Amino acid sequence: MVCLGNICRSPLAEGILKSKVNSTHFFIDSAGTSNFHDGDLPDSRSILIAKKYGIDITNQRSRPFKKNDFDVFDIIYVMDQSNYQNIINLARDEKDKKKVKLILSENAASKISEVPDPYYDSERGFDQVFKMLDEVCEIISIKLNDANK
Ligand code: 4NP
């Protein structure tokens, strides 16, 4: 799960997907395209909204995405087009590029294609981001669990 700062959106996506899949079969992590918040806890508003829905993300720390992540992960979900371009620019070959997907592309019913950056937004923005990530992670978890049967 990748966003810009790895403190607002991708920590929520990581926490939500982890809550829906069996962690012995799937390794889920998140990272930022920047190192702005390297080592930081998730944004307090992300921590709070996750907690409201019963998910603890306080074990997470921000880290920048690194090229080696292309070797470790099968799928790299990005939150918006800017993240997409930044990660594609790090790809070494077509195989790497094929791993990168806009997360909302997994939700055919979604009216929007990007998860908006709530960093400069209000608490309400975080609630909306939580709900759209929860909906798409439910779809992703069904796909992953089916693939693992
Ligand atoms: P995120 O949100 O990419 O969802 O973690 C942001 C967090 C920090 C900044 C930008 C976006 N920043 O510019 O510091």
Q: Where are the domains of the chain?
A: 2-147
% of the chain residues with pLDDT over 90: 92
Indicate the top mutation candidate among 8, 33, 103 to test ligand 1's pocket, ranked by most ligand atoms within 8 A of CB: 8
Mean of pLDDT values over 12-18: 98
Give the C-alpha separation, 111 to 34, whole Å: 28
**Pairing outcome for strands 31-32 and 2-3:** parallel
Fold category of 2-147 in CATH? Rossmann fold (3.40.50)
Mean of pLDDT values over 139-145: 95
Question: Which one, of 7, 16, 11, lies nearest residue 120 by Cα?
Answer: 7
117 lines ligand 1 (CB under 6 A): yes
% of the chain residues with pLDDT over 70: 100
Strands across the sheet with 76-78, in order? 31-32, 2-3, 76-78, 100-102
**For residue range 45-77, what is the model confidence (pLDDT) as tens digits?**
999 999 999 999 999 999 999 999 999 999 999
Which residues are marked as active site? Answer: 3, 9, 117
Q: What is the pLDDT of residue 65?
A: 98
DSSP tag of 9? H
Give the C-alpha separation, 81 to 138, whole Å: 22
